[in-house]
Amino acid sequence: TTSGNMLVKTFCMVLREIQHVQVQYVKRYSSKELKRFYKNVTVTQAEGRQGFEINLDKRKLRTPMGTVLQIPSEPLALAVQAEWEAQDQVIHRPSMHLTSLCNTAQDNPTKRSREVVVGGMLEYLNTDTICYRMDEPQELHELQKAKWDPLLDWAKERYNIVLEPTVTIAQPLVPAETVEVFRQHLQSYSDWSLIGFQTIVEALKSVILTMALVDRYTTVETAVDLSRLELNYQIGKWGNVEWHHDIELTDLYAKVSASLLCIHLTSEDTFTKHKTIAGQLH
């Protein structure tokens, strides 16, 4: 689809923008470098039309478990192709987030069921980033209110749920009905999409921010910044370890971008209609 192609192009732009940071990361942190051993990267349809395969010259790309990687979406396969083409003289696997997502989706190394994956994400509702507020300093409290309240209001209206913030150390009370709304919503996605969801939820520590991203209510940059609101406030007060935080932030942008792309390109309904919301569940 046109939307799918635009997402692929956007992710490729992200890859190009962060390459210079990745090079520094490889030089400082790689204990064992794997040199690029291929010249051309191509995508072909798998036998039996069971998906799309990535070819490094004449070698089929395999998962860590040794099976030939078969990607269910051609646009996603093209994005993985771009990821391998972007590697320079050294293959830097930690930066290849799409390949990692696809490997995890196909291999399911922890052998977790859909129910377990969804349940793990729903646990983050109890500690969702945007629901935990600091009552002091007052400046930070006001900043959280100004930045996070609109997002929380959007989620409550979009999904017809009850979810309130807290300024105490106690976890906010999340009604069972709210949890069930998100459970049914997440269950409507494919196994591959759920891996993308899981990665974003764990990276941002927020179900609400993840839903806002997938629904295109906010952007990757904004979602990441909102998830780091308190950290960014502290950095503004006390300064930043520039190189370390630049690497960390760049990798987070890339990981979330790749995961969002994976969700959109493996969800048939993503470009045509909204997912089921609470008002349609009852």
Structure tokens at 33: 């470098």
Model confidence at 20, pLDDT cuts 50, 70, 90, reads very low
Domain CATH number, residue 235: 1.10.3580.10
Alpha-carbon radius of gyration of the chain: 20
Domain boundary residue among 53, 80, 107? 107
Q: What is the CATH number of the domain that holds 48?
A: 3.30.2180.10
Q: What is the pLDDT of residues 174-184, one digit of tens each?
A: 999 999 999 99
pLDDT tens digits, one per residue of 66-108: 999 999 999 999 999 999 999 999 999 999 999 999 999 999 9
Indicate whether 28 and 128 sit together in one domain.
no
Give the end of a domain, one of 71, 90, 107.
107
Same domain, 25 and 152: no
Beta carbons within 10 angstroms of residue 43's beta carbon: 16
- Judge if 174 and 72 occupy the same domain: no
pTM to 2 decimal places = 0.84
With CA atoms as reference, report the closest residue to 116 among 213, 21, 194: 194
Domain total of the chain: 2
Q: Which of 123, 145, 125 is closest to 133 using CA atoms? A: 145
pLDDT tens digits for range 160-209: 999 999 887 766 679 999 999 999 999 999 999 999 999 999 999 999 99
Asked if residue 265 and residue 199 are part of one domain, the reply reads yes
Helix (H, G, I), strand (E, B) or coil at 187: helix
| Residue 205 DSSP symbol | T
Contact 211, 155 (CB under 8 A): yes
Residue 202, CA atoms < 13 Å, CB-side half-sphere: 12
Answer with the one of 107, 129, 145 that is the final residue of a domain.
107
124 lies in the same domain as 98: no
- Range of 40's domain? 2-107
